[in-house]
A and B are shown apart, each in its own frame.
Chain A
Amino acid sequence: MSEPVSALGGASAQGFASVREIGPLGMVTLRAKPDAKGLAKAVKAAVGTAVPAVRRIVRDGDRACGWMSPDEYLLVMPYAAVAGALEAIGTAMAGEHHLAVDVSDARAVFRVEGAKADQVLAKLSPVDFATLEADELRRTRAAQVAAAFWKEGDGFTVVCFRSVGRYVFDLLATGAKPGSELA
């Protein structure tokens, strides 16, 4: 069997901010209501974090749990940890209505880094970065496609669908071109 390959094979670009594709990254969509029995246990077992509040992401090292909608969470983890996580969720939520699916391969993930990383995203998304919280997971639009991002380290982690990974990478690289800083 082959090694898993991310959408763009780790493409990168350097401008006034740096853009690079990371991954493959493990991701699980977990659908359950916040009051579902075993939810906290399942999240803890899968990624070791608490269940996030509305529009928040709780991170712990290379794992995280983000709030996607009133009954959907995004679990982030190393690629190899997904099978174990799904099993742990299944155990913790046995008998309780939920849906957990591996979506690792359905996504492309980017890091946009540098002091002005927010300016790259401000060209693509109708988001007020001055009011974006440090632990906020924002689902929105990047130019013409759906995207989600959160602050992490010296910049942002940006997630989009795999099929438009090239489009989003090109958008980010174009937005980061030297000389186009917003301030």
Chain B
Amino acid sequence: MLLIECPYCGVKAEETELSPGYEAHLKRFGPGSTDEEFEAYMFARKNPKGVHFERWRHSYGCGKWFLAARCTATLEVFGTYPAQVGEPPADIIEKIKARRPDWKGYK
């Protein structure tokens, strides 16, 4: 059972205190978008074996959504950060590159 630190309150929360929220850093496409854009937003989810960015909510704690960089194969957690960002923080990117030299980047 995963153990993930909430970046807001610092609690090392076990999975039962959290709710999963699937892929992070999605861009919303609303009215006016093409079918392809909407499809990408709504349905096209990454499912990598390796580094993945995902949403978690500290639902039994402070109630806040945060984002986590995690390896889906080894379950290594590279870091967590608040959800109010457009892309992963530089220090987490650096850490992932150091741990996974072959990593192609988050996009």
In the complex, A touching B (Cβ < 8 A): yes
The answer to whether B62 has its CB under 8 Å from any CB of chain A is: yes
* A141 x B10 contact (CB < 8 A): no
* B8 x A140 contact (CB < 8 A): no
Q: From A55, A70, A138, A140, give the contact of B64 (CB < 8 A).
A: A70
The answer to whether A91 has its CB under 8 Å from any CB of chain B is: no
* A54 x B16 contact (CB < 8 A): no
CB neighbours of A140 from chain B (8 A)? 11, 17, 60-61
* B62 x A68 contact (CB < 8 A): yes
Q: How many residues of A contact B (CB 8 A)?
A: 13
Known: A54-B9, A69-B8, A70-B8. Is A139-B14 also a contact (CB below 8 A)? no
Q: From A55, A67, A69, A126, give the contact of B17 (CB < 8 A).
A: A126
User: Shortest beta-carbon distance, A151 to chain B, in Å?
Assistant: 16
The answer to whether A106 has its CB under 8 Å from any CB of chain B is: no
CB neighbours of A122 from chain B (8 A)? none
**Can you name the residue of chain A whose Cβ is closest to the Cβ of B82?**
A70
From residue 1 to 51 of chain B, which have CB atoms closer than 8 A to chain A? 8-11, 14, 16-17
CB neighbours of B64 from chain A (8 A)? 69-70
* B60 x A69 contact (CB < 8 A): no
User: Shortest beta-carbon distance, A101 to chain B, in Å?
Assistant: 15
Known: A54-B9, A55-B11. Is A69-B16 also a contact (CB below 8 A)? no
CB neighbours of B8 from chain A (8 A)? 54, 69-70
Task: Apart from A70-B9, A139-B9, A140-B11, list 6 A-B contacts with CB within 8 A.
Answer: A69-B8, A69-B62, A72-B63, A126-B17, A139-B60, A146-B60
Interface residues of A (CB under 8 A from B): 54-55, 67-70, 72, 126, 138-141, 146
Interface residues of B (CB under 8 A from A): 8-11, 14, 16-17, 60-64
